[in-house]
Structure 1
Amino acid sequence: MDIHCTQPASCGSNAVMATSRKYAWIVFALTFGLLLSDYMSRQVLNAVFPLLKQAWGLSDTQLGSLSGVVALMVGLLTFPLSVLADRWGRVRSLVLMASLWSLATLGCAVATSYGEMLVARACVGLGEAAYGSVGIALILSIFPSHMRSTLTGAFMAGGAFGSVLGMALGGFVAVHFGWRASFGAMAIFGIVLVIAYRLVVSDKRIAARYADVQSTAQQHAAGMRTNLRTLLAGLFSTISVVCAYVGSGVQLFIMGAVIAWMPSFLNRYYAMPADKAAAGAAVFVLLGGIGMVGCGVVTDRICRNAPSRKWLTALAYCLISLVLLSIGFRLQPGALQLVLLGAGILVVAGTSGPAGAMVANLTPPAIHASAFATLTLANNLLGLAPGPLVTGAIADRIGLSGALQLIPFVSVAAMLAFAIGRSRYARDLDRIDTLRGRAAKQPI
């Protein structure tokens, strides 16, 4: 027996651990940076909505489709591309994805018509489709398990922070240098990060530093490939996990609509020029990102000794956002309206943390990457993709203000899903624990 396995680590192994930990944080920083580029490229469009509408005479439905097509592509492709990334290599896949969305964003800068812009935006969505699920799977594989909640919350909130940068910087550049320059700036930022990522991070370096983790991940991936039926059974094994997917996606319908249309709302009803409207909207998006982190922290504190309470916190966030946003959008433009809207947006995406925790609790650890890909699919197909498009279609008929007054009531459907999930959670968790116990007793 090797007695060193039970002894304190030597100075040499401490040095190796310190080096691995430092490299893990470098990987996190670069992966997070590309996530910022992801959402900067996605949301810069919203900052130039007023300029595009004026330049090409587009309807609100067309503008909404340019925003929604990205989320639609993400929703359709995140799961299959996540599975392919496990086959081909996560780091290589991330580099390819980031290269594609950066070049597609450059294509947006040279588009000469709505049709060309729509194709370029679809390619942006193709590049971004699996980045979130593959990126978080890579990050979680190289950090200790006790840091998963913190890392997941920070990574998910990065989308909001990237949206802030994309809208604020995009609006500033558009006013001073034209809307094409806004897309160009986002593309250059992404290309520079891709080069840095390719030079520093590779699948071989990850495998060399975290051999045990990579071996386990490969075994899980192999099992998933050889038994698709088992994978799907694990992803949709209970009613409560399906409710978590649905509730999260439906609630993000509101977030997607508000992110896309807030610059136009401020431009039309507060007479703000495009750059100031984009900067003002960026503040609201920043509140949404802060709320995702803050609501996650609050949920963990409240539910530390009773995980089932996470369903109640999700219901509370839905109800609070419904009340604040529905009242806020009905008020006349002014300080009170902005305060209520800011408070509503602070909690509107607060369901992301509880929903993610429920998905993790209700699916086997071996398929968590696929589970988060499924959650991403639901978030995009049910929420982020249709939100801007539906809002634009309604706005063409009753005006943007009227459309935004109706959108918060989508929370009622999310609340219904979370309520059903809560009612089934205890028995579903018992069923999963029983199945896991039986699997553990099976001979290896």
Structure 2
Amino acid sequence: MLMQHAEPTAGNVPVTQADVRGYAWIVFALTVGLLLSDYMSRQVLNAVFPLLKATWGLSDTRLGSLSSVVALMVGVLTFPLSVLADRWGRVKSIVLMAAMWSLATLGCAISTNYGEMLLARAFVGIGEAAYGSVGIAVVLSIFPARLRSTLTGAFMAGGAFGSVLGMALGGAVAAQMGWRMAFGAMAALGIVLVIVYRLVVTEQRLALLQPASLNKAEGLGVRMSLRALMKGLFSTKSVVCAYVGSGIHLLVPAAVWAWMPSFLNRYYGMPIGKAATSAAVFVLVTGVGMVVCGSLADRLSKNGRERKWSAAIAFCLASFTLLAIGFRMPAGPLQLMVIGVGMFFCAGASGPSGAMVANLTPPSIHASAFATLTLANNLLGLAPAAVLTGVIADRLGLLGALQLVPFAPLIAAIAFFIGKRNYASDLDRLNTLREEAAH
């Protein structure tokens, strides 16, 4: 019975009210808005790395730990909290999570030492832990299935755009008013968005955008046993490869986003504000690449279901090649240009990965499935990226550490290749099981 939704059409929603379609886009905008706040609170830290290093005399390893502790908390807690969100209510969970990370960011602003900052950052991670998986589950439930790569890529790109705003605005505020005000500004924005979301989005209005079959499936998901849940989440080799490939390939953007302001400050002599603003451009390029690559994957896969995998492999190989060359070039505009093009592709497999996971899991457990994807993203890529780069930087220098980072997408490409080889047979088997269950 678990596999009857192997190729879900949860987003094929009949319009039951005149304003339903418009409301779906409002929900999307507000959900992405909170994701922007999520990453602004997370990445503002990177803009003030040099100031914290000078204020508290921190090593690169300790600086990296302040960034990685957030991703670590997300990785550890995303799955259990997402399962709870499926049972307790996704909208209520989103409001609670956003309030927590906003207040924790305020805690960062009043920290007086490294230990207090580390604790506050841990609570930022706890608040953000399940947001990505629950948020994308809400979005996918109210839009057509044919838009999954596009929507997933656009949603995840919100993280890049939030990082841009967090680094650029945080750096500007810090340069003028100090690093504490940079954290305070991010916290204030998050609190405002929480209030708006709570007033506009409700479970009842979301239900109007969802077909009765999905509402029934979600009811089954709530009552599903842990064994059945695990079976649905890890039912095929290809979905496991999607988890693994997605996680490993995200080590690149996480490492470069965290250390690019410091790279520009140390190797190009840029002051704090300019380094943060310039680094934000690379994050922006990454976000644009996620949207474009996700849309391209949807277009390519119209006439071939394995083409999403081929696209993911191509994006990983392009990122590896360009960044491996870029970080070994002499400092100058050409180096930054090559690195920028590499960053365009470095998270391009996010959209295809999300679509693969959605296609290979039932809609009743999509929040849990995306929690598993988030778990892989964080434990394999986002969490170790900043601190691992910092540890290596303390030994080889920051440039030497960044020269090793591009090998991650090469490994991810291998995982995607294995997934591609199994995808057709896995999907056919799931379709057969679905048809049998329907009868």
TM-score (norm 1): 0.92
Shift of 1:225: 3.3
Counterpart residue number, 2:223: 225
Cα 1:16–1:323 change in 2 (3 A) is closer
Shift of 1:189: 0.5
Q: Superposed, which structure 2 residues align to 1:329-348 within 5 Å?
A: 329-348=327-346
Shift of 1:198: 1.9
Give deviations 1:234-269, integer Å, cap 9, x for gaps. Answer: 111111111110011000011110110111101110
Determine helix, strand or coil for the equivalent of 2:329. coil
**Following the alignment from structure 2 to structure 1, what is the Cα–Cα distance between the partners of residues 88 and 226?**
18
Which one-letter code corresponds to 1:351 in the other structure?
A
Which one-letter code corresponds to 2:110 in the other structure?
V
Shift of 1:298: 1.8
**Following the alignment from structure 2 to structure 1, what is the Cα–Cα distance between the partners of residues 101 and 43?**
13
Cα 1:15–1:376 change in 2 (3 A) is closer
**Following the alignment from structure 2 to structure 1, what is the Cα–Cα distance between the partners of residues 422 and 204?**
43
Q: Indicate if the aligned counterparts of 1:86 and 1:221 stay in contact, CA closer than 8 A.
A: no
Q: Indicate if the aligned counterparts of 1:60 and 1:392 stay in contact, CA closer than 8 A.
A: yes
Counterpart residue number, 1:89: 89
Which one-letter code corresponds to 2:138 in the other structure?
L
Comparing 338-347 and 416-425, the one that deviates more: 416-425
Cα 1:430–1:22 change in 2 (3 A) is closer
**Following the alignment from structure 1 to structure 2, what is the Cα–Cα distance between the partners of residues 363 and 158?**
24
Q: Indicate if the aligned counterparts of 1:224 and 1:230 stay in contact, CA closer than 8 A.
A: no
| C-alpha RMSD over aligned residues | 1.8
Counterpart residue number, 2:180: 180
Q: Indicate if the aligned counterparts of 1:395 and 1:403 stay in contact, CA closer than 8 A.
A: yes
**Following the alignment from structure 2 to structure 1, what is the Cα–Cα distance between the partners of residues 199 and 362?**
34
Counterpart residue number, 1:161: 161
Cα 1:29–1:412 change in 2 (3 A) is closer
**Following the alignment from structure 2 to structure 1, what is the Cα–Cα distance between the partners of residues 191 and 154?**
23
**Following the alignment from structure 1 to structure 2, what is the Cα–Cα distance between the partners of residues 46 and 130?**
22
Cα 1:149–1:327 change in 2 (3 A) is closer
Counterpart residue number, 1:20: 20
Shift of 1:144: 4.2
Counterpart residue number, 1:5: none
Give deviations 1:204-248, integer Å, cap 9, x for gaps. Answer: 4444x44755x8336424445332211211111111111110011
Comparing 343-352 and 308-317, the one that deviates more: 308-317
**Following the alignment from structure 1 to structure 2, what is the Cα–Cα distance between the partners of residues 409 and 174?**
34
Counterpart residue number, 2:361: 363
Cα 1:142–1:308 change in 2 (3 A) is closer
Comparing 19-28 and 420-429, the one that deviates more: 19-28
Counterpart residue number, 1:321: 319
Give deviations 1:379-423, integer Å, cap 9, x for gaps. Answer: 111001101110000000010000000111122221221121122
Which one-letter code corresponds to 1:353 in the other structure?
G
Q: Indicate if the aligned counterparts of 2:316 and 2:349 stay in contact, CA closer than 8 A.
A: yes
Shift of 1:188: 0.5
- The higher-RCO structure (CA 8 Å, 6+ apart) is 2
Counterpart residue number, 2:195: 195
Which one-letter code corresponds to 1:306 in the other structure?
G
Give deviations 1:345-369, integer Å, cap 9, x for gaps. Answer: 0001111122122222222333222
Q: Superposed, which structure 2 residues align to 1:32-431 within 5 Å?
A: 32-207=32-207, 209-210=208-209, 212=211, 216-217=214-215, 219-431=217-429
Shift of 1:323: 1.1
**Following the alignment from structure 1 to structure 2, what is the Cα–Cα distance between the partners of residues 223 and 198?**
24
Counterpart residue number, 1:440: 438
TM-score (norm 2): 0.93
Q: Indicate if the aligned counterparts of 1:56 and 1:113 stay in contact, CA closer than 8 A.
A: yes
**Following the alignment from structure 1 to structure 2, what is the Cα–Cα distance between the partners of residues 370 and 289?**
25
State the aligned residue count.
426
Comparing 68-77 and 365-374, the one that deviates more: 365-374
Cα 1:164–1:24 change in 2 (3 A) is same
**Following the alignment from structure 1 to structure 2, what is the Cα–Cα distance between the partners of residues 343 and 211?**
39
Comparing 406-415 and 329-338, the one that deviates more: 406-415
Determine helix, strand or coil for the equivalent of 1:315. helix
Shift of 1:56: 0.5
Counterpart residue number, 1:9: none
**Following the alignment from structure 1 to structure 2, what is the Cα–Cα distance between the partners of residues 325 and 150?**
25
Which one-letter code corresponds to 2:380 in the other structure?
L
Shift of 1:299: 1.8
Which one-letter code corresponds to 1:177 in the other structure?
M
**Following the alignment from structure 2 to structure 1, what is the Cα–Cα distance between the partners of residues 125 and 331?**
34
Q: Indicate if the aligned counterparts of 1:100 and 1:123 stay in contact, CA closer than 8 A.
A: yes
Q: Indicate if the aligned counterparts of 2:251 and 2:385 stay in contact, CA closer than 8 A.
A: yes
**Following the alignment from structure 2 to structure 1, what is the Cα–Cα distance between the partners of residues 394 and 67?**
16
The percentage of counterpart residues that share the same residue type is 69
Which consecutive residues of structure 1, in runs of 5 or more, have no partner in the other structure?
A: 1-13
Determine helix, strand or coil for the equivalent of 1:18. coil
**Following the alignment from structure 2 to structure 1, what is the Cα–Cα distance between the partners of residues 16 and 108?**
45
**Following the alignment from structure 2 to structure 1, what is the Cα–Cα distance between the partners of residues 96 and 249?**
31
Comparing 162-171 and 145-154, the one that deviates more: 145-154
Give deviations 1:115-149, integer Å, cap 9, x for gaps. Answer: 11011000000001111111122223333444444
Which one-letter code corresponds to 2:251 in the other structure?
F
Shift of 1:331: 1.1
**Following the alignment from structure 1 to structure 2, what is the Cα–Cα distance between the partners of residues 361 and 295?**
18
Comparing 344-353 and 416-425, the one that deviates more: 416-425
Give deviations 1:88-127, integer Å, cap 9, x for gaps. Answer: 2111111111110000000000001111101100000000
Determine helix, strand or coil for the equivalent of 1:143. coil
